[in-house]
Amino acid sequence: MAQSALEVLQEVFGYDSFRGSQHEIIETLIQGGDALVLMPTGGGKSLCYQIPALVRPGTGVVVSPLIALMQDQVDALNELGVNAAYLNSTQDWQTAREVEREFLTGQLDLLYVAPERLLTDRCLDLLARGQISLFAIDEAHCVSQWGHDFRPEYLGLDLLAQRWPGVPRVALTATATQLTRVEIAQRLKLEEARHFVASFDRPNICYRIIEKNEVRKQLLSFIQEEHSGDAGIVYCLSRSRVEDTAEFLCKNGIHALPYHAGLDAQQRAINQARFLREEGVVMVATIAFGMGVNKPDVRFVAHIDLPKSVEGYYQETGRAGRDGEAATAWLAYGLQDVVQLYRMINQSQGDAAHRRQQGQALDAMLGLCETISCRRQRLLAYFDQQIEPCGNCDTCLEAPEAWDGTVAAQKMLSTIYRLWRERGQRFGAGHLIDILLGKLTDRVKEHEHDKLTVFGVGKELTDQAWRGVLRQLLAHSLVTVDPEGYGTLLLTDASREVLKGERTLMLRRETVTRGPAAHRVKGQAPAGPALEPDQQRRFEALRAWRAATAREHGVPAYVIFHDATLREVAIRCPSSEADLEPITGIGVRKREAYGEALLRCVQEFQTQ
């Protein structure tokens, strides 16, 4: 007799209840309906197709773009006693034959396939000869041509609707805007599908955005002071920055590895595997890294360059703290980032509409950086979700001071206005500030800018403060970057109101480096329960056992048990198999496989 969804959740996965709309999604699919699922990273999307695949007769076919990660997904399922396999180009043909045979004889619960593989005649033929319980299309935003993860093969997946009209299909993504959702539904022929849009809030992530000055040093002290020994991801915009930063961190005793599209495929795979399998690795990467990496215990995501959109930023930071325990999203950005990104957009290929869209995306990102209200409120508003101030972001924890920046803005704007006549001379932000501060640089002398009336009128602010003013003027669209290139700054229509004194401008005061201590003390992130010294030692012993077991099986440690599970074992101190049952993350299969070892580990520790 078929098991119910709840029984599968408890017995196979070892969890006691569903999260959010998981149950409804699962029931929709079990009953043969289609679904479109939008849930943040870490929200629990996988169960939404894994459980119906186990309940319905036949094999669930999972389309996933990430060949390199299929092995880990399948290993994790096998550890749970689920019959899962994958078909991809990394296998030799005998292995592929064997998987095909298992599929045809109905032995597989789940089959993972890359889209390009799925669309081959051979694979479509194979699927037509077996029984399919459902199709799950993971990372469904890859079908969006405007998105940053576009995969042309995804466009071919509408064929599943035509060939298998009776098989339920579910598309899943963590990319949330209305636009993307509509595009997914349309391109994947999911017009009839029920939409499930989960809350996008990730309360355990503390968002912090700081001003960049010596960014590598700032990064290093952030890691050393707050995340020493933790796994994390550092995002950079360019390959060379990835290389430099990884090298810098390594020199300073941090176990860092680089990842970018310029490394050969084998090196990338090795670095990724080390990030997943070893503890406490920091991956320094371009945005090429991270999609589908479902490592649950990434404790921080740091950006040392300004991301190009809020959507991308949210997806990248969402890779922190999937296990629900406290994690940090840390971003350092400066004036230079802003100017450079606007320049890149202006100079990019593509039509005006596309450039405008990119410009607006960047405006929104900048708005988030310069906000004086709750970061999370801003972030979620972007996904049409309203919340109260969160209490777990830098502006909530340490409210920034606002000051009347009208006069300062006027000084800056008139300087820009005065230089406008010399357009084409490529005067960047630094030069503007030199003029305001009255610095007699070579450039100033060469162009006789010391003769301007604005020369030296801004000595009441520091260089750093002026950079803050300029950034905020950009964020408020009172200044823009010359579309003709070179990063020259120009006035906008709105600037006039400020220049004429018709509008007051409240600005955010640059705080001196925000100390982590304040955040620690006041932070409300739901960290795991604090362990007593005894429990902590037990926890360490369990972790050591887990590391050895994972190595033996050739799988990442979290595939054996999550930290949360080991922590619960350390606290409850079980003495029999029955004591293990209520512990989260220990299903029937894992109890059989590892129950004894867990108990022995706890006992040995007792008697020491």
The two tokens of residue 99 are 């998987």
| Partner interacting with residue 43 (select from Zn ion, ligand ADP, none; CB below 5-8 Å by kind) | ligand ADP
Torsion sign (Cα): 315, 318, 319, 320: positive
Say if CB 37 and CB 171 are below 8 A apart: yes
| Partner interacting with residue 396 (select from Zn ion, ligand ADP, none; CB below 5-8 Å by kind) | Zn ion
Site for Zn ion in 391-430 (CB under 5 A): 393, 396
Pick between residue 237 and residue 390 the one whose CB is nearest to Zn ion: 390
Q: Which of 39, 249, 390, 478 binds ligand ADP (CB under 6 A)?
A: 39
Query: Which segments within 64-131 are labelled E, that is strand?
Result: 84-87, 110-113
| Partner interacting with residue 47 (select from Zn ion, ligand ADP, none; CB below 5-8 Å by kind) | ligand ADP
Stretch that binds ligand ADP, among 34-42, 88-96, 372-380, 385-393 (CB under 6 A): 34-42
Name, in order, each residue with C-beta under 8 angstroms of 379's C-beta and a sequence gap of 6 or more: 207, 310, 314, 368
| Partner interacting with residue 374 (select from ligand ADP, Zn ion, none; CB below 5-8 Å by kind) | Zn ion
Rounded CA separation 240/89 (Å) = 30
- Is 45 a binding residue for ligand ADP by CB under 6 A? The answer is yes
Q: Would you call 545 helix, strand, or coil by DSSP?
A: helix
Percentages (nearest 5) of helix, strand, coil residues in the chain = 50, 10, 40
Q: Would you call 60 helix, strand, or coil by DSSP?
A: strand
For residue 327, what are the β-bridge partners? 205
Pick between residue 45 and residue 476 the one whose CB is nearest to ligand ADP: 45
Q: Which of 193, 374, 379, 601 binds Zn ion (CB under 5 A)?
A: 374
- The helix (H) or strand (E) run that includes residue 303 is strand 300-303
Sequence length of the chain is 608
Name, in order, each residue with C-beta under 8 angstroms of 342's C-beta and a sequence gap of 6 or more: 359, 362, 474, 480, 481, 487
Q: Which of 21, 42, 245, 277 binds ligand ADP (CB under 6 A)?
A: 42
Rounded CA separation 35/135 (Å) = 11
Say if CB 447 and CB 431 are below 8 A apart: no
Stretch that binds Zn ion, among 79-87, 309-317, 376-384, 516-524 (CB under 5 A): 376-384
Least separation in angstroms between CB 22 and ligand ADP: 6
Say if CB 26 and CB 32 are below 8 A apart: no
Produce one character per residue of 298-311: b if its CB has 16 or more CB atoms within 10 Å, e if not.
Answer: bbbbbbbbbbbbbb
The two tokens of residue 287 are 């945005």
Stretch that binds ligand ADP, among 39-47, 121-129, 360-368, 573-581 (CB under 6 A): 39-47
Least separation in angstroms between CB 319 and ligand ADP: 9
| Partner interacting with residue 393 (select from ligand ADP, Zn ion, none; CB below 5-8 Å by kind) | Zn ion
Pick between residue 344 and residue 381 the one whose CB is nearest to Zn ion: 381
Say if CB 463 and CB 483 are below 8 A apart: no
Q: Which of 21, 28, 46, 472 binds ligand ADP (CB under 6 A)?
A: 46
DSSP 193: S
Tell me the CA distances in angstroms from 455 to 375, 419, 452, one per residue in order: 37, 12, 5
Pick between residue 398 and residue 579 the one whose CB is nearest to Zn ion: 398
Residue among 468, 415, 461 nearest 437 (CA): 461
- Is 80 a binding residue for ligand ADP by CB under 6 A? The answer is no
Cα three-residue angle 358-361-367, rounded to 5 degrees: 140
| Partner interacting with residue 38 (select from ligand ADP, Zn ion, none; CB below 5-8 Å by kind) | none
- The identity of residue 320, as a single letter, is A
Name, in order, each residue with C-beta under 8 angstroms of 536's C-beta and a sequence gap of 6 or more: 570
Pick between residue 41 and residue 59 the one whose CB is nearest to ligand ADP: 41
- Is 19 a binding residue for ligand ADP by CB under 6 A? The answer is yes
Least separation in angstroms between CB 15 and ligand ADP: 4
| C-alpha atoms less than 13 angstroms from C-alpha of 379 in its C-beta half-sphere | 28
| C-alpha atoms less than 13 angstroms from C-alpha of 391 in its C-beta half-sphere | 8
- Is 204 a binding residue for ligand ADP by CB under 6 A? The answer is no
Site for ligand ADP in 276-315 (CB under 6 A): 294, 296
Rounded CA separation 251/246 (Å) = 9
- Is 528 a binding residue for ligand ADP by CB under 6 A? The answer is no
| Partner interacting with residue 39 (select from ligand ADP, Zn ion, none; CB below 5-8 Å by kind) | ligand ADP
Stretch that binds ligand ADP, among 16-24, 226-234, 377-385, 464-472 (CB under 6 A): 16-24
Say if CB 368 and CB 379 are below 8 A apart: yes
Q: Which residue is nearest to ligand ADP (CB)?
A: 44
Least separation in angstroms between CB 488 and ligand ADP: 43
Contact string 47-66 vs ligand ADP (x = CB under 6 A): x-------------------
Pick between residue 72 and residue 226 the one whose CB is nearest to ligand ADP: 72
Least separation in angstroms between CB 221 and ligand ADP: 30
DSSP 235: E
Stretch that binds ligand ADP, among 17-25, 149-157, 248-256, 531-539 (CB under 6 A): 17-25
Q: Which of 56, 141, 212, 322 binds ligand ADP (CB under 6 A)?
A: 322
Say if CB 314 and CB 34 are below 8 A apart: no
- Is 390 a binding residue for Zn ion by CB under 5 A? The answer is yes
- Is 486 a binding residue for ligand ADP by CB under 6 A? The answer is no
Residue ranges that bind Zn ion, judged by CB under 5 A: 374, 376, 390, 393, 396
Residue ranges that bind ligand ADP, judged by CB under 6 A: 15, 18-19, 22, 39, 41-47, 294, 296, 322
